[in-house]
Structure 1
Amino acid sequence: MMQTHKLPGCAVFLGVLVLLCVSVLSETYRPPYSDWEPERPDPQASHHPREYHRDPSEARRSECRRCCDPEEEAPQYPYPYPQYQVVPQINITILKGEKGESGERGPYGKSGRSGQMGPRGPHGIKGAKGNMGASGEPCKSYYAAFSVGRKKALHSNDYYQTLVFDTQFVNLYNHFNMFTGKFYCYIPGIYYFSLNVHTWNQKETYLHVMKNEQEMAILYAQPSDRSIMQSQSFMLELEQNDEVWVRLFKGERENAVFSDDFDTYITFSGYLIKAKSEV
């Protein structure tokens, strides 16, 4: 009777042991790291925070692997992990060479815009008195003057006539040419001129004082029963080689100037007031 009681207990123990072995052997084998994917949270399921943030490395360590299984390749992860590369740093100051020679000077650039004038600076210190210079040349004075007259009357013609003079009162340096009746300017500057004539009764008196070929002033008197003295005076600025002379108007109307062989009724005078070099 006692043997019949022990057999069932041993049979139960052996059956449980067999079931445990079968359950272990029947478990599906999963290679480590092969098809592993990181756990994704299920919005409908409530998990503990610690299980949701579980480290994948812990999952790998918890898996078993049989020694008889062949070696497998390294796991291929769907998400690449960052790779770090060590970059050596070189101190450039150690590799600095010796200073080279200076290059050639480049061309000058374009001039910039001139800036605004700055404020006036303070007065400098008074310098020492210099040495006396050499004596200069004495001041040079310039002179030019003439005064001429005519003792013959002159009547108008079909053309203009130059009034030629036959009497010379003053002709400094012969600047007035008695043959042409013209004054030639040798010293540029400001000159004064004066013309005096005696009119002929019952005739017009019509003369021009000319500068080169340009009319500068007129002396005119209308016909009258008596003769009168008529004058004209003015100043001119002359350049070198300018000519000043008197011209009788042509005979569109009868005009004339009176004079005789005994007295001088016609005079023409001029002189230099100030030379251009002294202005």
Structure 2
Amino acid sequence: MAASALMLLVLVLPMGAWPSLGLSRRPCVHCCRPAWPRAAAPCPYARVSSGDQWWGLLQVRPTIDISILKGEKGEAGPRGHPGRSGKEGLPGFRGLQGPKGQKGQVGPPGALCQHAYAAFSVGRRKGLHSAKDFQAVPFDTELVNVDSAFNLASGRFHCAVPGIYFLSLNVHTWNYKETYVHIMLNQRATAVLYAQPSERSVMQAQSLLLPLAAGDTVWVRMFQRDRDNAIYGEHGDLYITFSGHLVKPATEL
């Protein structure tokens, strides 16, 4: 009961009334530290007059060194899953041109360049009269015949090198007779050499460019209509000639 009355008295009486009641004022003491006169500063909750010997001292608050409490570095955790790919960025600026490289070694020599070629030039010394509607013109004189591609007996050139060919036909007409001749590609007439009957014989010529495939044949054909068809020739002179040569092979087209 006495303790309760004393506690009530402490709460009710002001601090100035304590000496009058014979109560001495003691310094504020924490339960875990010594009395404040031995510390660096008074308790912030104690009333201190200007005449007190501890008046004016700086208040010092305790600090804790965090480095003392810091533990050791732990081990690295497992690698996480890769994140999503970001958007593609804009292309960068073109870099500077690098230095010129060193000259490389000389390579091995290449194969010799082989140019494909074909040509023929044949003639007929003896004149010829057509005896039927269509008649192939044979030749009896060989001037040029590369790789023997032209057959004199049949009058046909057999193409072995495909490409563009230049062909030329020259004949001499017969007096008072019609001259009607075709330059043939396989079974198709590609050009006509024609002369009407006349009292004077003349030289006639025809030439053209033709694309030939491998296996194609080129030859000359006489065509008889309602008149006598003939071409003139003599044993001493060469009046009838048929020539051709490769201008450009198909591999270069």
TM-score relative to the length of structure 1:
0.54
Equivalent of residue 142 in structure 2, options 156, 160, 168: 168
Identify if the C-alpha distance between structure 1 residues 200 and 124 changes in structure 2 by more than 3 Å, giving closer, same or farther. farther
In the other structure, the counterpart of 2:206 is: 232
Deviations 1:209-255 (A, max 9, x none): 00011111100001111000000011111111110000000343221
Distance 1:124 1:149 in 2: 70
Equivalent of residue 192 in structure 1, options 159, 163, 166: 166
Deviations 1:242-270 (A, max 9, x none): 10000000343221101122211100011
> Could you tell me how far 1:278 is from its partner in structure 2?
2.5
Equivalent of residue 142 in structure 1, options 116, 120, 123: 116
> Could you tell me how far 1:135 is from its partner in structure 2?
1.9
Secondary structure at the residue paired with 1:277? helix
Say how many residue pairs are matched.
Answer: 164
Identity %: 51
User: What are structure 1's unaligned runs of at least 5 residues?
Assistant: 1-118
Equivalent of residue 243 in structure 1, options 208, 214, 217: 217
Identify, as 1 or 2, the structure richer in helix.
1
Identify if the C-alpha distance between structure 1 residues 122 and 212 changes in structure 2 by more than 3 Å, giving closer, same or farther. farther
Identify if the C-alpha distance between structure 1 residues 227 and 141 changes in structure 2 by more than 3 Å, giving closer, same or farther. same
Deviations 1:1-54 (A, max 9, x none): xxxxxxxxxxxxxxxxxxxxxxxxxxxxxxxxxxxxxxxxxxxxxxxxxxxxxx
In the other structure, the counterpart of 1:159 is: 133
Distance 1:199 1:123 in 2: 78
Structure 1 residue identity aligned to 2:116: Y
User: What are structure 2's unaligned runs of at least 5 residues?
Assistant: 1-90
Larger Rg: 1
> Could you tell me how far 1:193 is from its partner in structure 2?
0.9
> Could you tell me how far 1:125 is from its partner in structure 2?
5.3
**Structure 1 runs (4+) greater than 6 angstroms displaced:** none
TM-score relative to the length of structure 2:
0.59
Q: Is the 8 A contact 1:175 1:183 kept in 2?
A: yes
